[in-house]
Chain A
Amino acid sequence: MERHTLTGADGNAAEGDGKAVHGPTAGSHEAPAPGARAPEDESLRKMESIVAIVLRGGVFTSAAVVLIGTLMTLLDHHTYNYSVRALHGITAGRLKLHGAPYPHSLSSVFSGVASLNGPAVIMLGALILIATPVLRVAVSLITFAHQRNRDFVIITAIVLTILTTSFLLGKASGG
């Protein structure tokens, strides 16, 4: 394995955003070559900032979109504001808008957003939220590829594949 160029110390070198990197006290009992660690550290920090930005950005973007969608829904449906029957419809899952159930596929969500449909905007927010951890995994894939860690590029790709096919399975099992 090409990673193990330094005995034992390699375990502590900044080689992956999952490996322990401890700053000034790092490798205290294993003393890796200082020159070999600095550039790795740099790119590691950059990767971590990207991950943090992706996560926080994803969550807050989705929250904002969901809020907007909720406001749109409340303003749009006057019966929604007053009717107990509408309430029963909601809890049983039968909320229908203009005769159709709320959108739950990519195409219907996007077309719903285009026509300024409140619930469709909410669903868009939910989609953004679901995509956030997927993006996080994708960033890890890039990180591992950058480090030429073939084993984990494969592992991460497998996880990414499972994540993307989950959506297809959902469509098949009940729509």
Chain B
Amino acid sequence: MNPTIFTLILCGIGLGAGAIGSLVGLGGGFIVVPALTLLFGVNIRLAIGASIISVIATSSGAAAAYVREHITNLRIGMFLEIATTLGAITGAYLASIVEPRLLFVLFGVVLAYSAIAMIHGYKEHVAAGAALRRPSDRIADRLDLHDSYYDEAEQHDIPYRVSRTKVGLGLMYIAGTVSGLLGVGSGTLKVPAMDLAMGLPIKVSTATSNFMIGVTAAASAGVYFARGDVQPTIAAPVAIGVLVGALGGSRLLPRLRGKRVRQLFVVILVLISADMLWKGIH
């Protein structure tokens, strides 16, 4: 194998990661880093650098569409971004002092958690009526974070109240740290933090999380870039592949949507998780 073929293969990996990621709702980061490290023995910090660049690309590309949807709660997003970006820097910094094997273990753990989250799916946890009875939160009131959104399916506005903002901030800091440490989008941590802890409806949580992912990734990417962990010959083909895959994936593979795909993906996730754990422990 020579570097040109290597570049093309990297692009292909990116394509696959982007397409699958957009279909299943998980970021491509979960595929990119294991593929690069397990298949090619790429230094994990370089793999993470390449992955975080891809995360920015896909998230920003998709966010352009979400902006029009009016479901994103920008105030909450921006407010929580304080915590996620601080976490992202923390994670990116930790990645430089933590032993690489530990990164593998952490990756395996987060993957396993994501697999479990996918099995359970995201259910509506808060009924519309109960939403208004949530405990009052002074920060949420002061910043006017409460809002409503228009639900297409129900055909009317659904108001919601936000609570437990401090818990939300803490969870977002952790989500940001994981994102900076492992080069992933951390949507799987952000969405439950907003949905379960803070009381946002699931659609709002998902849209807001999508908005936040790009900004969070940019925070840690700055650190990786300046440290020299973004290797152009690795990051470039991967990022382009992921971008094309994410944009074209859902269009090219419409018949693959649905439960079967998610089940298959859960199995793949578990296998990759085990592989990463193994590599970390040995």
Contact = CB atoms under 8 A, between A and B. Distances in A.
A45 B236 CA distance: 34
A136 B168 CA distance: 23
B85 A166 contact: yes
Could you tell me the dominant secondary structure of chain A's interface residues? helix
A86 B88 CA distance: 32
Contact of A90 (B6, B57, B78): B6
Interface residues of A, number: 78
Contact of A17 (B74, B86, B142, B232): B74
Given A17-B67, A81-B4, A126-B53, A171 B237 contact: no
Contacts of B42: 91
Contacts of A1: 144
A131 to B, nearest CB: 8
B233 A162 contact: no
A113 interface: no
A130 B70 contact: no
A18 B46 contact: no
Interface in B220-254: 220-237, 239-240, 243
Contacts of A35: none
A133 B42 CA distance: 27
Contacts of A134: 215, 218
A19 interface: yes
Interface in B40-76: 40-43, 45-46, 53, 56-57, 59-61, 63-64, 67-68, 70-76
8 contacts: A25-B150, A56-B64, A67-B240, A91-B40, A102-B228, A125-B236, A159-B215, A170-B224
